[in-house]
Amino acid sequence: MPHLNLIQLIAIWAVPGLFAITLHEVAHGYAARQFGDRTAEMLGRLKLNPIRHIDPIGTILVPLACIILPFHFIFGWAKPVPITPQNFKHPRRDMAYVALAGPFANLLMATGWLILSQIGRLFFAGTPIGQFLILMGIAGIYINILLMIFNLFPLPPLDGGRVLTGILPVQWARVFARVEPYGFVILLVLLVTNVFFMLMGPLLFGALNIFLNGTGVPLPVLNQTLELLRL
């Protein structure tokens, strides 16, 4: 496989990245609607149009910097879908389910990208189309598994933090929820100090290994592919 230039790298990452963050947020909105909250629907946030979900910094600038700079992961976010838990019959329980909907959508998308890589390997082997499908499929697996595991971290305002808030006893949940205003700063410190990957690394790399082994791409080609994608 030839080395990829910056334009090719962006093209391979852009489609999986936009789908990952868009469907993640839309999944939250659809789940909320199922539990009685139509806030996202009324504000037009259940559309699959990525423009409605793009955050200029989190969706464009930060992921682009991750590609250009020698980072080993792609990081970014979309505009959160607005949710009004007061509209739920069981706010704490229902909010936990709504929070899980986003990571579950990423799991489904990772499976879809796995299938795409298989199509490239089995039906277009040795062709530019096959190479493109394999690269994009593996990129899609990485993005969605990383986004899924990242969001499951039990720290508000991440999805895992909202799930934990929903299942803790009420008095503990109230104390835990007070962390949310400082959640982003705490998360940034955990990422910079590598503590996040020490805690979540086994789960992250375990899930990645399962999906990447499922691509059926021979190990030498897979290693070369990962090198091309700067992972």
Q: What residues act catalytically?
A: 25
Structure tokens at 44: 């037009």
d(CA 184, CA 167): 22
CB of 88 closer than 8 Å to CB of 39: no
CB 50 within 8 A of CB 22: yes
Please check whether residue 99 is in contact with residue 163, taking contact to mean a CB–CB distance below 8 angstroms.
yes
Burial class (CB in 10 A: 0-12, 13-18, 19+), 47: middle
131 phi/psi in degrees, rounded to 5: -60, -45
Cβ atoms within 10 Å, residue 85: 17
Angle between helices 128-151 and 219-228 (to 10 degrees): 70
